[in-house]
Amino acid sequence: MNDAVQSDVQRFLDRLSEHRAGRGAEPTWIAARRQAGAARFEALGFPHRRVEAWKYTDVRAIARGDFALATEAEFSPATAARLTLPMEAHRLTFVDGVFAPALSRLDDLPAGAQLVPLSAALAENHEAVGGPLGRLTGVEFSSFAALNTAFMEEGAVLRLAPGTVVEKPIILQFLSRAGEQAVMSHPRILIEAGGRSEATVIEHHVGEEQAANFTNLVEEIILDRGAILTHYKLQEAPLADLHVASIHIEQARDSRYTSFNLNLGGGLVRNDLVAELNGQGAEANFNGLFYGQGRQHVDNHTLVNHNAPRTFSNENYKGILDDRAHGVFNGKVIVKRDSQQIEGFQSNANLLLSDRAEIDTKPELEIYADDVKCSHGSTTGQLDEEAVFALRTRGIDEQTARGLLTLAFAGEVLEQVDLDAIAERVELAVAGKLPERFNLAGLVETAAALNEE
Amino acid sequence: MASQEMEQLVRREYKEGFVTDIESDTVPPGLDESTIAFISNKKGEPEWMLEWRLKAYHQWLKMTPPSWAHLDYPPIDYQAISYYSAPKRDEDKPQSLDEVDPKLLETYEKLGIPLHERAALAGVAVDAVFDSVSVTTTFKEKLHEAGVIFCSISEAIRDYPELIKQYLGSVVPQGDNYFAALNSAVFTDGSFVFVPEGVTCPMELSTYFRINAENTGQFERTLIICESRAQVSYLEGCTAPMRDENQLHAAVVELVALEDAYIKYSTVQNWYPGDEDGKGGIYNFVTKRGDCRGDRSRISWTQVETGSAITWKYPSCVLRGKDSIGEFYSVAVTNGRQQADTGTKMIHIGEGTRSSIISKGISAGRSNQSYRGLVKVGPRAKGARNFTQCDSLLIGDQCGAHTFPYQEIGNSTATVEHEATTSKIGEDQLFYCQSRGISEEDAVSMIVNGFCKDVFQELPMEFAVEAEALLNVTLEGAVG
């Protein structure tokens, strides 16, 4: 490690020791775990582009930043109301990583469902949380996972007793504040879904327009037999926000995990999504949509490990990139030896709207069993000229036709979304973000007006 | 198929495994500046060539072997390899077949390549490389009439220094990668082809490489240049005798296509893959790259890879010229404990460049195979087009098939498509054939050949026949 890199790492470690000094007495196991995270982070440093997994993503914007830690969760109620998803839901809100009780709503959860901030869970019953915490995403996973472990203290814990069905979606809201000093947060999400339980979790990242903070998230999701979880990750963070997330999912027999990774915001976003299909009949569905403009950088790395026979995975990621945006997609499917009768499908399609936009995509297959049906496809290109022509013959001008077709391209992911509120919100956001030449403004207004009626 | 029969077929010995007893003029193992000076001197090379080699050597010293490939092999001791070996009588080269060492002819007989017959019947000029020195070159006169230069690279360095200075290392620079640097320092022979402006080479050119002397790495260097509107089809085929120790092979092939030129490069590779424990096979680390320098030029790579214990090979095209075309057709078959990490790179730089990649991988036994490819579209490559299809067929539950396609696209007018599938031979397909009285083995062979058809039809006629036979031989007994 050279000096500059060393000093970057040291800056984060200094913040850590400052923060540690202000903390009260705690059980030794958590102190030890944080210590292990810090040691691992110190050893690894920040990843550089010569590391295969970070070949296309430069994290110097994070490494060179000086981020403080937020200590309170004050947030303008008016702004919060404007940013919050307008839907009936159970809600847990964090402001710059600090739990905000005033913006949370936990009163009407069904029996069998437990949703608490990590700090509270640790205070109440730390052994039960301590067991699974860090089991899936260990400090070895990446330097960001290690850094998160070093700082871990807040986040969300969701526990579903066997058979519990939560009707209303659960929103985990992460608000980013604009301020003099950029801050960082290292939230952890832990979801343990018991046998045949069912829930929808919406992770919503949003904030004040001028904010430029760093979020380093670790999520561990454990699905027991037959559990069903739908997980939305709606990324609408301000354009200067930096975001790294490591998400691990462990699935037992017949469980089903469906992810919607909808990425509209954030200046630098990196998601690592790893599913371990450990029981027969387990199924993982990864859906993704990313829209990049300006100088946004969106990197999605997904990995599905088929560890058991008769497991299924299905992945569909779509990207639209404009201006100088940079998109990265790396999807990997690994079929272990003796994991027979596997089906794994993967598809990634990208649309470049500008000559300065760039997409780097790598759909990988690693297969060690023979009775499998695996395929992947990846395309990058333009709109179908014949489709444009077909619309024009119906009296739609060329620009609007292109706009509509771009929306339809995104629509292929959005039509899988069960929650209409989310699908519409994202569709409108995409329509609103499209370059002016596509001339959809009128259409968006009409749609919005129709919605309000 | 009865498992006994299967055993038998799987255990069948390598058909081409034998050693010809010819006294070799070999330097002691080890690599330093004096080895390189020895090679250069032995080849009667001018001073500038030695300097060129030493420059490569010094770059090589600073490099580390690549570790990113999906391959598993013990580290190679580069000081244990002998870097030069030549048939004894290289001073007075045979001028015709009659003068050729009868033992050498015998070798070709055993290989089923009767040099004179093949040359006469197929109209192919054969620049046969026996170990490191080209022994005989036929049809030279006919080529001479057309103005085509086809000779060993050593002769070219002596006779056409200007061309060599201009083109050698211009596609694959000395420090390109670890194995290319090693090759640049110690290459001992290979072919040189120069097709002048407007000439279509009157026959398919072909070189049969053969590794012989024990413990000798083979470091060929091939350079093919096609001037404006010139065309050439070049065939490369390989077989090797059975060995106990791993043999290193690090070749470099450079192709240069100027305006409207067309180079077709076909390879059938059937080197010794090692015994059933994977011992003794050839290590094949090859750098092949074509440069479409001129507008509308076209380079086409076709390869059938059935041999070698380890294959590390990525024939690539740099599409610089406007509307230039790059093609890659590949069938790779691995059985036993073979490992192959192969694929291609298509670098789109010029406007309107097109490339297509068809890769078919078949893994059987306990082998592992990876497709690793890169499609890069630069910001100036307006309207660039790529289509990639890579399919893998798995035979048996102990093998592996992997795909690592990289796509880096920086142009909104580019269209890039990639498709990959992995599956085994369908039970229903087998049943269908068997219900019509076709034996299981024949059915498998039919299905596999059908699977590879897209690539085989790109091969020149005589190669296509050889390739199909080779495929059947390699896979026989792998299916049950």
In a domain, B373, yes or no: yes
Which range has the top average pLDDT, B12-16, B112-116, B281-285?
B281-285
Q: In chain B, whose CA is at the least distance from the CA of A379? A: B417
Question: Chain B residues with CB inside 8 Å of A319's CB?
Answer: none
In a domain, B442, yes or no: no
Question: Chain B residues with CB inside 8 Å of A353's CB?
Answer: 412
d(CA B227, CA B241): 37
Mutation target vs A (from B409, B417, B423, B479; most A CBs, 10 A cutoff): B409
Domain range enclosing A398:
383-453
In a domain, A393, yes or no: yes
d(CA A232, CA A172): 10
Average pLDDT across chain B, whole number: 80
Question: Does B426 score more than 90 pLDDT?
Answer: no
pLDDT, mean of residues B169-185:
92
Give me the count of residues in chain A.
453
Domain range enclosing B274:
23-424
pLDDT, mean of residues B277-301:
90
In a domain, A76, yes or no: no
CB contact under 8 A, A378 and B417: yes
In a domain, A153, yes or no: no
Q: Cα dihedral sign for B56, B59, B65, B66?
A: negative
The answer to whether B48 and B165 have CB atoms below 8 angstroms apart is yes
pLDDT-derived band at A158, boundaries 50, 70, 90: very high
Number of structural domains found in chain A: 1
Mutation target vs B (from A378, A386, A402; most B CBs, 10 A cutoff): A378
Nearest-Cα distance to chain A for B407, in Å, is 5
Nearest-Cα distance to chain B for A356, in Å, is 6
Q: With both helix axes pointing from N to C terminus, report the angle between A441-452 and A398-414 in degrees, rounded to the nearest 10.
A: 50
pLDDT of B398 reads 87
d(CA A239, CA A268): 8
Amino acid in the structure at residue B14: Y
Number of structural domains found in chain B: 1
Nearest-Cα distance to chain B for A343, in Å, is 10
Q: In chain A, whose CA is at the least distance from the CA of B404? A: A364
Q: In chain B, whose CA is at the least distance from the CA of A340? A: B397
In a domain, B42, yes or no: yes
Give the tokens for residue A337: 């030896």
CB contact under 8 A, B400 and A368: yes
ipTM of the complex: 0.83
Question: Chain A residues with CB inside 8 Å of B379's CB?
Answer: 355-356
Segment B365-419, tens digit of pLDDT: 889 999 999 999 999 999 999 999 999 998 888 889 999 999 999 988 999 999 8
d(CA B380, CA A146): 41
State residue A257 phi and psi, 5-degree precision: -120, 130
CB contact under 8 A, B420 and A376: yes
Nearest-Cα distance to chain B for A10, in Å, is 30
The answer to whether A92 and A117 have CB atoms below 8 angstroms apart is yes
d(CA B32, CA B35): 5
Residue spans of beta strands (DSSP E) within A297-385:
297-306, 312-321, 326-335, 342-352, 358-367, 372-381
pLDDT of A125 reads 72
Q: What is the CA radius of gyration of chain A?
A: 22
| Nearest alpha carbon to residue A197 among A171, A230, A219 | A230
Output A2 or B340, whichever has higher pLDDT: B340
Question: Chain B residues with CB inside 8 Å of A358's CB?
Answer: 408-410
Question: Does A279 score more than 50 pLDDT?
Answer: yes
Segment A5-58, tens digit of pLDDT: 788 999 999 999 888 887 777 788 888 899 999 999 999 999 988 888 999 999
Question: Chain B residues with CB inside 8 Å of A338's CB?
Answer: 397
Nearest-Cα distance to chain B for A53, in Å, is 12
d(CA A176, CA A267): 13
pLDDT of A155 reads 95
In a domain, B240, yes or no: yes
Segment B460-475, tens digit of pLDDT: 776 777 677 777 766 7
CB contact under 8 A, A366 and B396: no
Give the tokens for residue A168: 């209303």
Mutation target vs A (from B412, B418, B427, B428; most A CBs, 10 A cutoff): B412
pLDDT of B131 reads 39
Q: Which percentage of chain B shows pLDDT scores above 90?
A: 40
CB contact under 8 A, B411 and A366: no
Mutation target vs A (from B339, B403, B424; most A CBs, 10 A cutoff): B403
Q: How many C-beta neighbours within 10 Å does residue B159 have?
A: 12
pLDDT, mean of residues B227-246:
72
pLDDT-derived band at A1, boundaries 50, 70, 90: low
Q: With both helix axes pointing from N to C terminus, report the angle between B47-62 and B33-42 in degrees, rounded to the nearest 10.
A: 150
Question: Does B121 score more than 50 pLDDT?
Answer: no
pLDDT of A242 reads 96
Question: Chain B residues with CB inside 8 Å of A331's CB?
Answer: none
Q: How many C-beta neighbours within 10 Å does residue B148 have?
A: 23
Segment A356-380, tens digit of pLDDT: 899 999 999 999 988 888 888 889 9
Question: Chain B residues with CB inside 8 Å of A366's CB?
Answer: 70, 400, 402
Segment B101-116, tens digit of pLDDT: 555 455 455 445 444 4
State residue B178 phi and psi, 5-degree precision: -55, -50
Question: Chain B residues with CB inside 8 Å of A354's CB?
Answer: 412
Q: What is the enclosing helix (H) or strand (E) of A174?
A: strand A170-176
Question: Chain B residues with CB inside 8 Å of A293's CB?
Answer: none
pLDDT of B213 reads 41
Q: How many C-beta neighbours within 10 Å does residue A2 have?
A: 7
Amino acid in the structure at residue A351: L
In a domain, B99, yes or no: yes
pLDDT, mean of residues B445-449:
86
pLDDT of B4 reads 53
User: Residue A453 CA to chain centroid, in angstroms?
Assistant: 32
Q: In chain A, whose CA is at the least distance from the CA of B418? A: A378
Question: Does B72 score more than 60 pLDDT?
Answer: yes
Question: Chain A residues with CB inside 8 Å of B423's CB?
Answer: 372-374
Q: How many CA atoms lie within 13 A of A303 on its CB side?
A: 17
List b or e across A196-211, with b for residues whose CB sees 16 or more CB atoms inside 10 angstroms.
Answer: bbbbbbbbbbbbbeeb
d(CA A21, CA A44): 24
CB contact under 8 A, A378 and B407: yes
Question: Chain B residues with CB inside 8 Å of A337's CB?
Answer: 397-398
In a domain, A342, yes or no: no
pLDDT-derived band at B480, boundaries 50, 70, 90: very low
In a domain, A127, yes or no: no
Interface of chain A toward chain B, CB-CB under 8 angstroms:
52, 56, 337-338, 340, 350, 352-382
List b or e across B41-60, with b for residues whose CB sees 16 or more CB atoms inside 10 angstroms.
Answer: ebbebeeebbebbbbbbebb
Question: Does B93 score more than 50 pLDDT?
Answer: no
CB contact under 8 A, B418 and A376: yes
Q: With both helix axes pointing from N to C terminus, report the angle between A385-392 and A398-414 in degrees, rounded to the nearest 10.
A: 120
Work out whether strand A312-321 and strand A342-352 pair parallel, antiparallel, or are unpaired.
parallel
Segment A311-353, tens digit of pLDDT: 999 999 999 999 999 999 999 999 998 888 999 999 999 999 8
Does the pTM surpass 0.90? The reply is no
d(CA B379, CA B361): 32
pLDDT, mean of residues A217-224:
97
Question: Chain B residues with CB inside 8 Å of A352's CB?
Answer: 409, 411-412, 414
The answer to whether A217 and A191 have CB atoms below 8 angstroms apart is no
The answer to whether B124 and B204 have CB atoms below 8 angstroms apart is yes
CB contact under 8 A, B412 and A372: no
pLDDT of B9 reads 42
Q: In chain B, whose CA is at the least distance from the CA of A347? A: B419
Q: How many CA atoms lie within 13 A of A9 on its CB side?
A: 22
pLDDT of B6 reads 43
CB contact under 8 A, B404 and A362: yes
CB contact under 8 A, B379 and A356: yes
Work out whether strand B149-152 and strand B191-195 pair parallel, antiparallel, or are unpaired.
antiparallel
Choose among B70, B410, B412: nearest Cβ to A353. Answer: B412
